Chain A
Amino acid sequence: MAGDQGRGRCATGIEGLDPILGGGFPRGNMVLVTGVPGVGKTSLSLEFAIRGAAAGDRTLYITTIERPEKLLASVPDFEFFRSELIDDGLLRFIEVPELLELDTLFGRPESREDVLRFSEGLSKYIDENGISRLVIDSYSAMFHALDDRGVSRDLLLMLSEMMYRKGCTAVLVADVEPSATPDLAVTATMESIIADGVIVLGNHQRRSDLLRTLQVLKMKGTSHSRSKYVIDLTSCGILITPLLRGGA
């Protein structure tokens, strides 16, 4: 715990989130951002990346589903995004094959050896480029070609150790099946046990209204709120306000 405190905080830059986290993620932590499709996981991850780069952190965003240009075009036009961040090398978008250093059928790891190669490639990339902030979007989609689910957990353990050692703060996007009960689906996974932090994005049904929500379920080394918050995805970034209880 003392070591974590000594490492300081990696401010997400997301205005309402940092106060919930006591100033940001503990630096060198690996945080799982999870939820069903359409709740804002990519928007949150992109804002974390862009605001980090704008604050001077060398940031790497690894896309596993969409091409980087499509990813950037699919999110709101963030007013805080500046193309100089990319031009100056502070913000980098790459796809998995660039780290695998070989062609695979789907551009994703297809064997345990590929996963090891990915881990080594990432470690080298972080060292060579001074990366201190990382996003993998989506982590769970990287393993669609693998039958052995244990491989994703092994990589998670390797990443957790790597991030801590290098003082690099990581956000891993993990998808949850739309049919799953989000909280149960997350707490039951080995991934959420291994990760240092878990943020669940979801939907809250109130009568006929559907609200987008955010809840920090876990954040090691942090005294944080575990309440549910309502979020809005805007061109100014993610906005957050408490979920009203109405005395309930």
Chain B
Amino acid sequence: MADVAVEVGRRLDEVGPSVATVMQFPISQYFEVLRGLVDFTKNRGLGMVYITASVPAGTMLSTFEALDVDTANISFVDSISQMMMSDRDESGKVIYVESPTVLENIILKVAYLMRRAGDKKQLVLVDSINSLSLHNDAKMLSEFLHVLISSLSSKDAYPVMLATKESMRPEIAEMLALVCDQVVELSGLE
């Protein structure tokens, strides 16, 4: 069987930038998928804008550190910490948005980080669609993804959306198939 992290990079390589990709996988493969995405950006000299809607960015940074994953090229847009009144990360790698319901502010913070990055190409990761769907209805979410993907595609970025299979509602899966360019199934891999 193929390695999940390798498969993630292979599928992104196949389509190249400006293609909105949904990565669907069982929750047990979460960290392998993340490793695959980080490796992909490292190997191709890309930056990563990590939109987190489920776990505070500070926790993600600690997790990456524990997994010995280099985060030098990663910036975070954290939409969950302020709502949960979590501690702020002071590393300078995190920009905070009030809550996952202010989707426009998430788009604007991504735009800000893209500008700051200059010519360096970026992979923009939405982690995760399941979490965002807890706070927003499908229509709002589809409009958000449409605007975000359009702006990223025009900048030759890699828009990647994570979706865990176990908690995916049918209307969200249907919406993703409409809004995104490809849905990559990562189940059955190791």
Which residues from chain A sit less than 8 Å from chain B, CB to CB? 206-209, 211, 230-232, 234, 236, 239-247
Contact = CB atoms under 8 A, between A and B. Distances in A.
B140 interface: yes
Interface string B108-124: 11011001100000000
B3 interface: no
A230 B104 contact: yes
A209 B139 contact: no
A163 B111 CA distance: 35
6 contacts: A206-B101, A208-B99, A234-B108, A236-B115, A241-B108, A244-B104
Contacts of A243: 104
Q: In terms of DSSP, what is the predominant structure of the interface of chain B?
A: helix
Given A240-B108, A243-B104, A245-B143, 20 more contacts: A206-B101, A207-B101, A209-B98, A209-B101, A211-B102, A230-B104, A230-B108, A231-B108, A232-B105, A232-B108, A236-B112, A236-B115, A236-B116, A241-B111, A241-B151, A244-B104, A244-B140, A244-B144, A246-B139, A246-B140
Q: Which 4 A-B pairs have the closest CB atoms?
A: A247-B139, A246-B140, A230-B104, A232-B108
Interface of B: 98-99, 101-105, 107-109, 111-112, 115-116, 136-137, 139-140, 143-144, 147, 151
A245 B98 CA distance: 19
B112 to A, nearest CB: 5
A198 B175 CA distance: 38
A234 B116 CA distance: 11
A245 B139 CA distance: 9
Main secondary structure on A side of the interface with B = strand
A247 B143 CA distance: 8
Contacts of B151: 241
Contacts of A236: 112, 115-116
Nearest to B103: A244
B109 A232 contact: yes
Given A230-B108, A246-B139, A209 B115 contact: no
A211 B143 contact: no
B109 to A, nearest CB: 7
Given A244-B104, A246-B140, A234 B147 contact: no
B101 A244 contact: no
Contacts of A242: 104, 147
A241 B144 CA distance: 10
Contact of A232 (B101, B112, B116): B112
Nearest to B98: A209
Contacts of A240: 108
Nearest to A231: B108
Contacts of A247: 139-140, 143
A239 B115 CA distance: 10
A212 to B, nearest CB: 9
Nearest to A247: B139
A243 B103 CA distance: 9
Given A209-B99, A211-B104, A241 B112 contact: no
